[in-house]
Homo-oligomer: A and B are copies of this chain.
Amino acid sequence: VERKLTARGRERRQQILDQSARLFAERGYHPTSVADIVDSLGVGKGVFYWYFESKDDLFLEILASSSHDLRRLQQAAIGDEPDPLRRIEIGIRASLRWFRENRHLFNLSQFAATEERFAAVLRQNDAVAIADITRHLKEAMADGSVPEQDPEMLAHALVGATRHLARTYLYHGDESVDLVADVAVHFVLGGLAGGRPATPR
């Protein structure tokens, strides 16, 4: 249902989007009923379905838009930085700032991964992020600043370390973004350089 919305309509829609994201994040997707959402906004149930096809639909929109939002921020931060390793560092720092601002969204993607109809969107989003990073890594390998390795795997390791630090210290904990970012960058750049296995296999 594509609707032409008035200014007031767009506002209401955004209100629902924000409030739902907050509630889903706090209590979980399933435990949050449409009734909870509309009640918390003090509006009738019909309002929800005036703006969204279904609860699932709304959730998918939250997922998609938050990933776009993050990516936009990263790209703005990176600008036209020429050094690929610095691009990665800037990307990590930007992500962490975004995670901090949008910490409540952590649970949403956590959850989305567990039900196939949502997982698809998530994989899509992730693929984009990984592709971005992979590109930087290939450049870094080309100019010798990172030893040759499977760039995609590295990208995943990088993402995993960063996100987990963010979840732990920015979502559950309350650490400063800069401190976490320093550790993350240090760890990741070290990881890209690689260490000698303690045990030769």
Contacts and interface: CB of A to CB of B under 8 A. Distances in A.
A38 interface: no
A132 B172 CA distance: 20
Contact of A164 (B108, B160, B183, B185): B160
| Chain A interface residue number, banded | 35 or more
Interface stretch (A15-23, A28-36, A58-66, A67-75): A28-36
Instruction: Classify the secondary structure of A's interface with B.
Output: helix
A125 interface: no
Given A110-B113, A164-B164, A169-B153, A188 B183 contact: no
Contacts of A124: none
Interface string A167-201: 11100100000101011111111111111111101
Interface string A86-112: 101110000000000000000110110
Contacts of A201: 178, 182
Contact of A89 (B90, B187, B198): B198
A6 interface: no
Contacts of A157: 161, 164-165, 183-184, 187
A163 B165 contact: no
A164 B116 CA distance: 18
Nearest to A150: B183
Which 9 interchain pairs have the tightest Cβ spacing?
Answer: A160-B164, A189-B195, A191-B191, A190-B195, A187-B191, A28-B115, A161-B161, A111-B114, A190-B194
22 contacts: A27-B115, A27-B116, A29-B114, A31-B115, A85-B198, A90-B199, A107-B114, A149-B183, A150-B183, A154-B183, A157-B165, A159-B164, A160-B164, A161-B164, A163-B164, A188-B191, A188-B195, A189-B198, A190-B192, A190-B193, A191-B195, A193-B195
